[in-house]
Every structure is written in C-alpha cells, then in structure tokens.
Amino acid sequence: MDMSKRTAKHVENLTFRIGSKNRIMKKALEGFKPEAVRAIPQSEIQQNVDKALEGFTDVDLAIAMENSSIFCARCGECCRRSDPIVLTPSDIDLLTSLLGIQRLGDYVTAKDGRFIFKKTKPCAFLQKNKCIIYDHRPLVCRQFPFDDRTKGGALTLALYKHCKFTANLIACKAKLMILRRLEEMIDPRRSRTRRI
C-alpha cells in the first residue's frame, strides 16, 4: 500500500478525531480578505477542504517534516501525553553527554529490552511548557507526530486528537488550493495544470 493510501486511511476518521471540517475550513480561510472569500463559491471552498482531507503525498509529508515548526502549535501536549518515550542508542549517547552517566539513571530505565524515560505524562524535561533539552531531545520527540512503526518502517503521519499539527497541515494544503483558484480567477492565463 503506497504512502498516500495509508495516510488517506488514517485521515478517514480525521473529522471525528480533530473536530469538524468547518474548523479546518475556518483555519484554511484565515488571513483572506472577505471579498476574496466571497469570490469563490462556498461549494468550491468545501471541495478544496475535502480534497486536502483525502490524504498526503510523499511531497506533502516531506514539506511538513522540513517545516514542522509552521504546523506545530507548541502546546506541549505531546510532552504531557506521550508514554512511553522510547530512546535509541544515539539518544542515550546524547543524553549521557548532556547529563552525565550518574544523572542519566535519574531519568532513564530499561524495560522490555529497550530504554525509556522513567517519568512521562508529563515528561520530566517539560518545564514551563518548554522542553529544557530541546536541542538534545530524543528521536521520537523530534519526529512527532510522524511515526515509523508501520510495516516496512515507512514514515506516516500519526493522528492524535490532542495534536493540532495534522489539522494545521490540512488547512495549509486547502489554503494553497484556494490561493491557486483565486489566482486563476484573477488571471486565467496564469492557470497551472500542477496540482497540490
């Protein structure tokens, strides 16, 4: 199964998990002048939102990963709710160099053949809604909300109802489609065959 079909399957329940399509549509329309919104029929705007909800291409996911700070709400909910936080050998090396071997034992334990943080919900490193080891945070934290635990290890976008990342990504994709439509209305000669 290719990436876009897997993602589309996850997105099927998106309305249930992150709220209504109307909330995504509202987010997609933020920043537009009222006259621009009125220029496009409501049904066409809804079609763009529906198309954005169909799933993500590999290019969409690559853009999202490279520009994750645009889509992340920086709410800290991932740090409050993630459990367990599994560490890679590289994470252990990095944390050892940061904390020292003696202090590492205060934060990390071995369980079921893997290293995990002892304290989660919230993470021990979340203070005043900020990660105090942000530049040294574990791989799983750097990848969130992307997940590579699928068959074959393909990277997918996981959905969590407490995380606004996916809704923001969908709204941005819909916004780009709406912008393209406005551009076509202003100058039909500039119409592009390229699709988002």
SS3 category, 53: helix
Token match 């959905």: residue?
Answer: 159
Q: Break the chain down into helix, strand, coil percent, rounded to 5.
A: 60, 10, 35
Evaluate if residue 28 carries a pLDDT over 70. Answer: yes
Q: Beta-carbon neighbour count of residue 180 at 10 Å?
A: 17
Using one digit for the tens of pLDDT, what is the confidence trace for 118-144?
999 999 999 998 999 998 999 999 888
φ, ψ (nearest 5 deg) of residue 109: -135, 160
Q: Where are the domains positioned within the chain?
A: 1-73+144-196, 83-142
- Would you tell me the crossing angle of helices 42-53 and 21-29 to the nearest 10 degrees? 110
Q: Which pTM value belongs to this model?
A: 0.69
Using one digit for the tens of pLDDT, what is the confidence trace for 138-177?
999 988 888 776 667 677 787 777 888 888 888 899 999 9
Evaluate if residue 8 carries a pLDDT over 70. Answer: no
Evaluate if residue 12 carries a pLDDT over 50. Answer: no
pLDDT of residue 15: 42
